[in-house]
Chains A and B, each alone.
Chain A
């Protein structure tokens, strides 16, 4: 019985130590989104290109789409940009949200680097970003055909992210009736 009482604090310490070690491996900037399984908050943004229809929350209907939040001043966005262009060539619908950026800077960025988006909305003030819970760029939402958010990627989409997580989820949403 004495051995049990001796072992208990050691065991408790081991459990606490394990919890901390596991916790240290997690990324604190990866905040879980409050929008998962919720409809996209309604918004209507002007286009970065002026004279074209902008981006509205109502546009996210009919098929699963990506909503990619980016900015011309964002370095990581340039890292993920080639992947977005590749996804577009594969027929994936991507809508863009130019966050805390002037429309002209956003338009120039897309003209210089290629435009993977069907529509691009300009959120210079950042109000729509706050409604979406955006804390930085890039962030990408996967929205289903009913306008419900199913997944949020914080940070650039790497090839692994698409292959292992977002791609399979998109396939599942596409095949669901």
Chain B
């Protein structure tokens, strides 16, 4: 039992396996962790659904090294990202920027939820109101009702 517990505990603590090779890593641990963090926000344009931190593609390898070079030159996180965006476009950012072009992407789902909720609320309130309205019977309907119910109706 304790063996399984130990394995489980080790699995919880084990770090993410990236594609970063030992010879890519920077000596300075602070710079390296910045590089890892930024890499995890950048899309590998070859594989497209992986970060450059995860991807084994040669281009991802090149971009990881380039990123570390920029950080060694003193670029801030934002400047290093901007360097890549300038060359590959905003698609390289895994989190799309909040611009007029991506407004629909950002606000769409929430907007749809809001529209749907409003529509549902209106629909339900109309149903309730319709149930409360008492429409008097027409003379024809009155006669039919009396006939069906019997003369004892008062």
Which A residues lie at the B interface, using CB under 8 A?
A: 2, 5, 8-9, 12, 28-29, 31-34, 100, 126-127, 130-133, 135-136
Contact = CB atoms under 8 A, between A and B. Distances in A.
B88 A100 contact: no
B87 A133 contact: yes
B87 A131 contact: yes
B142 interface: no
Nearest to A32: B89
B86 A100 contact: no
B15 interface: no
Nearest to A16: B112
B96 interface: no
8 contacts: A9-B116, A29-B48, A32-B89, A100-B58, A127-B66, A130-B66, A135-B45, A135-B59
Contacts of A100: 58
A133 B66 CA distance: 13
A32 B58 CA distance: 21
Which are the 9 A-B pairs with shortest beta-carbon distances? A135-B45, A133-B87, A34-B89, A133-B88, A126-B62, A31-B91, A135-B46, A28-B48, A5-B123
B150 interface: no
A9 B119 contact: yes
B118 to A, nearest CB: 10
Contacts of A34: 85-89
B126 interface: yes
Contacts of A2: 126
Contacts of A28: 48
Contacts of A12: 112, 115
